[in-house]
Amino acid sequence: MKTIIILWVGASMAACLSCSDFLDVKPTNSGDSQSSIQTAADAQVIINGLMRSMTSSDYYGRNFIMYGDAKGGDLTIASQGRGLDPLYTFNHTVTANSYSGFWTQLYESILQVNNLLENIDRLEQEGTTDDFSTYKGLALTARALIYFDLVRLYGKAYTDDPASYGVPNITATLEAAAQPLRATVAENYTQILADLIAAAPLLPKTPTNGYLNYYANKALQARVNLYMGDHAAALSAAEEIINDKVYTLYENEAWTGSWKTPFGTESIFELGIFPNEGDLGSASLGFYLRRLAHGAPTAAGWFMASDYFLERLGEDQDDVRWGVMDQDESETPRLGSCYKYSGSVALEGDGKSTNTAVNIKVIRLSEVYLIAAEAALPTDPGLAASYLNAIRKRSPNLSPATAATITLDMILDERSKELFAEGHRFFDMIRLNRSITFNDDFGGITVPHREKTIDRSFYKTVLPISQDEINANPGIEAQQNPGYSGQ
């Protein structure tokens, strides 16, 4: 943790500076982290810097989304050595392929949030006339999202063992020598929900492109409660979003085109990616998922859809979601390359000067409907079927679900088809205690670090705390995730 503290001041200043052109404002005093926030305009700069930090390649810009699908069985690889294949092969140790960038990047963002919140509290106590309530709501909601992602990476599923180790709960700025230890998964989730509940009334109920708003907060509440198995709370939050109708689902004919449209009618929380800010180019999600050499020789075709996913989507050849799939590098016809992050199979992007600067849709209304379906299923299968059918209709030749036919497997399959390459599949399978089978035979690769089929009892379904972090915070070594000690 010490390494994070040392990096904090520089990281926060860089985040502010990276956004100055976009906002055309600067902190009153960018040189002193304790007094750099004096006005609401300064808080806006920090928030914009926070949103920018979330587009890092170590977070939503690439690796976090790839983590959720590469490990979930919906993606496969043709060969090793192209990039990020340890996510697929589970080749993780404390000293190699630990993906410690998750830990560092996400905690830097949390410290950015904590500094903002403490400065807001200071200014309010001093009697400022500026209204900081929206910024406080944004910061708390962002902190909840980041902690939710951290505990899913480093802790067991809440539905598996809530008393097991999660991640350190840090809700205040720390002294440079501080070495906080891990909280439990349950304690992490308690903090996540506390932040979300405190933030909700502070946020606007209108769309705020590129930022979190009230409905993004409610969607996160729905998602978190679903992961906890609290179906009533998940359904309540999801239904508020659906019933308020601020966001609307795409009709079938508009679904494919929505990926080349920033901030569409389904997009509840979308991170802006701009050519001069956050565009990862040949290291972007678009390049990792498109066909080998498509559009540029550096497009290496790192990941493609597994046979299992294509069989699922192939239940209906008229499914509109085929519209973002195109031929992969296989010699046989196989639409295994995903173009969500290229805008279209024609590499149109989403209206910017480069086709790799495509926004990241973090929360979509379609996910909210699927949360509502899963949450309603135990008590009201008919209601669950109605929510599921709102998304299932994207497969026009499949029979609608009914109270008699709907199952959890049907909902899980629909989540796979709708949310493909958006970072959900692995976490869905783990929280629901499902086995994951990998399409290793597609490329004929050898994978010595895991079995072909795993479940959440496999210790590498959570990441190790890296050796660098242990060196900086020795007390956390005794809290290393099981299976990684002594590596």
Angle at Cα 408 formed by Cα 142 and Cα 77, nearest 5°?
A: 70
For the record, the structure tokens of 288 come out as 């990792």
The radius of gyration of the chain's CA atoms, rounded to the nearest angstrom, is 22
pLDDT at 43: 95
Answer whether residue 360 shows pLDDT above 80. yes
By the 10 Å C-beta count (0-12 exposed, 13-18 middle, 19+ buried), 482 is classed as: exposed
Distance CA 150, CA 145 (A): 9
The tens digit of pLDDT for each residue in 163-218 reads: 999 999 999 998 878 899 999 999 999 999 999 999 999 999 999 999 999 999 99
Q: Is the pLDDT of residue 32 over 70?
A: no
The CA distance from 344 to 350, in Å, is 9
> Could you report the per-residue pLDDT of 33-85, keeping only the tens digit for each?
455 789 999 999 999 999 999 999 999 999 999 999 999 999 999 888 888 99
* 3-class DSSP state of 367: helix
| pLDDT range class, residue 373, cuts 50, 70, 90 | very high
Q: Average pLDDT, stretch 345-373?
A: 98
Place of tokens 């914009």: 48
Residue with tokens 């992961």: 227
Average pLDDT over residues 105-134: 96
402 is written with which tokens?
């009914």
Q: pLDDT, tens digit, for every residue of 281-329?
A: 999 999 999 998 999 988 877 899 999 999 999 999 999 999 999 999 8
pLDDT of residue 35: 54
- Residue 122 to residue 210: CA distance in whole angstroms: 27
Kindly state the average pLDDT of the residues 459-478.
Answer: 96
Average of per-residue pLDDT values in the chain? 92
Q: Which of 21-35, 103-117, 272-286 has the lowest mean pLDDT?
A: 21-35
Residue 487 has pLDDT above 90, yes or no: no
Q: What letter would DSSP give residue 154?
A: H
